[in-house]
Structure 1
Amino acid sequence: MINTAMDSTEYLNQQRRGRLILLCMLIFFIIPIIAVIAMYKLDWRPKGESVGELVSPPRTLSISQALINSNGTKVSTSLLKDKWSMVYVTTDCDLQCKNKLHQMRQLHVSLYKEIPRMQRVLITTTPDVADIARNYPELLIINQPADDVIAFSQQFNIDNETAINANRIYLSDPLGQLIISYHASTSPALVRKDITRLMKYSWTG
C-alpha cells in the first residue's frame, strides 16, 4: 500500500515536471513569434541613432601603383589589406582637417588592446605635409601625385557627396573594402562604440 502511494506521488511529480517543461518550451518558442507579429502589425521599430552610413554593397578599394606617400615612396597596393583603416579625405589640410586628424588619433588610442588592428590614413593633395607627419607620426599620408590622389579619393564618394569635401571619417575592413562612413557631426563616442563592436565580432584583421 505504501509503495502504491509512493508510486502515485512520483507519477504526479513527473506529470508536474512534464507540464512545467512543456510550458517553458511554449514560452521560449511562442512569445518571440507573438512579439515579432505584434511589431509587424503595429509597424513598431526600435528607436536608436544610426551611427554610421553603411556602404551597400561594400566597395573594394583599388590603390594605383602611381600613388606616393609623404616619405616619397610608392604606396603598397595592399596598404588597406589585413588591417582596419580609418580614412580621412581632403584637399588642403586646414584647421578642420587637423581637428579631424586629432579626433581620429583619440579614437585610435581609445581602442586599447585593439590598437594594432587599426591604422589611420590621410588622403590629401597638400604637397607639404611635414608638419602633419611630425605631429602624427603613425599617420599614413598619401599625397602625391595630385591627379592620382584625386582619382583615388573618388572611390570614397557616397551618393552625390564628394569625399574630398565631406569631412567624414571612412572605415574600410581588412579585406580592403569600404564598408561605412561617419558624418562630420557624429559624436566621437558613438563612432568609437560602433568601431569597437565591428572589430569585436569580426573574424578578419
Structure 2
Amino acid sequence: MNAATPHGGSRKKRSTLLLVGMLFLGPLLVASLVYYGSAGWRPTGNVASGMLFDPVKELPASELRGVDGSRLGYEALDGLWILVYLSQGSCEIECRKSLYDTRQVRVLLGQKDQRVRRLLVAGAPLPDPAYLSEYHPDLLVTTAASAGSDFVQAFARDRQGLGDEEILRLDRVYIVDPLGNLVMAYESGFDANGLLKDLQRLLRLSSIG
C-alpha cells in the first residue's frame, strides 16, 4: 500500500499542473478559435456595411509620429480596436464629417468605448492642430510621411497600384483589430450607423481587445 503512494502523488501533481495550464491557456485558445476559427465572428457580405479584408491583412511595423514629430507610442494602441482614417489635405468638409462620425460611433459604444481608439493618418498639408485639439482631443494623429509608404500601401485593399497620395485621397475609414490586422474598410461618405453596427458586432463576438 505504501508503495502506491508516490505514484498517486505524482498523478495528483500532474493533474494539478494540467489544470493550471488550462486555466492560463484556455481563454487564449478560446479567443483564438472564436476570432479565427469560426465563420460566425466576422460580418458577412450581406450584413456588413463595410468592405471585408478577406483574409485579414496585417499592418507592417511602423514608427508612428505625431504632427509635432514626437513618437506616437504603440502602447496607446496596443490590444485595442482602432478606427483608422486616412486623409489627404488640410481636413476640410468631408474630412471633418468623417472625424465627427467616427467620434460619434465611439461615443455610442458606451462602456465599450475604452476598447476602441481613433487614429488619423494625415497627408500634407496637415490638419489645423487647434481644430483637432478642440473637437477631437481623443484622436491620435500621425503623418503619412512618418508612417512610411509600406504602412500606407497596406490600406489599398481593392485599389492596388495606387500611389500613397492616391490612397490617402480615397478618404476611407478602416477597422484594425487588436492584433494589428486590417479587417474592414469604409468608403468616403460611409454610413455611420452601419459602421457602428459592424463594430458592435465585432466587439461582441471577439474575446480579444
Instruction: Give the structure 2 partner of residue 42 of structure 1.
Output: none
2:56 match: 58
The residue correspondences of 1:72-87 to structure 2 (distance < 5 A) are 72-77=69-74, 80-87=77-84
* Aligned-partner Cα distance in 1 for 2:157–2:198: 19
Deviations 1:62-108 (A, max 9, x none): 2423x311353112245543000001001212221111100110111
2:198 corresponds to which residue?
A: 194
Asked which structure has the greater RCO (Cα within 8 Å, sep 6+), the reply is 2
The alignment partner of 2:53 has SS state of strand
Note the aligned Cα RMSD (angstroms).
Answer: 2.2
The 8 Å contact of residues 48 and 198 in structure 2, kept in 1 or not, is answered as: no
- Cα distance in 1 for residues equivalent to 2:127 and 2:186: 27
Which is further off, 74-83 or 131-140?
Answer: 74-83
Q: What CA deviation, in whole Å up to 9, does each residue of 1:6-61 have, x standing for no partner?
A: xxxxxxxxxxxxxxxxxxxxxxxxxxxxxxxxxxxxxxxxx945411111221111
1:169 CA displacement:
1.2
| Correspondence 1:94 to 2:98 | no
Deviation by residue 1:104-142 (Cα, 9 ceiling, x = unmatched) = 101110000100000000000233531223321100000
SS of the equivalent of 2:142 reads strand
Of residues 109, 118, 136, the one that matches 1:120 is 118
Given residue 51 of structure 1, which amino acid in structure 2 is its aligned partner? S
Match of 1:179 among 177, 183, 201: 183
Mapping of residues 28-177 of structure 1, within 5 Å: 48=46, 50-65=48-63, 67-77=64-74, 80-92=77-89, 93-125=91-123, 126-127=125-126, 129-131=128-130, 132-143=132-143, 147-149=145-147, 151=149, 152-160=151-159, 162-177=166-181
What secondary structure, in the 3-state scheme, does the structure 1 residue paired with 2:49 have?
Answer: coil
Q: Note if contact 2:88-2:171 (Cα within 8 Å) is conserved in structure 1.
A: no
Aligned to 2:3: none
- Percent identity, aligned pairs only? 28
Provide the TM-score with structure 2 as the length reference.
Answer: 0.67
Q: How far apart, CA to CA, are the structure 1 residues paired with 2:148 and 2:128?
A: 16
User: Structure 1 unaligned runs (5+)?
Assistant: 1-46
- Listed as ranges, the gaps of 5+ residues in structure 2 are 1-44, 161-165
Structure showing greater radius of gyration is 1
Cα separation, partners in 2 of 1:182 and 1:127, compared to 1, 3 Å: closer
Secondary structure of 1:175's counterpart equals coil
Contact 1:90–1:167 (CA under 8 A) maintained in structure 2: yes
Out of 191, 199, 208, which is 1:204 matched to? Answer: 208
Range moving further from structure 2, 192-201 or 74-83: 74-83
Structure 1 length-normalised TM: 0.68
**Alignment partner of 1:156: what SS?**
coil
Paired positions, count: 156
Q: Is the contact between residue 176 and residue 183 of structure 2 (CA under 8 Å) also seen in structure 1? A: yes
Q: Is the 8 A contact 2:57 2:181 kept in 1?
A: yes
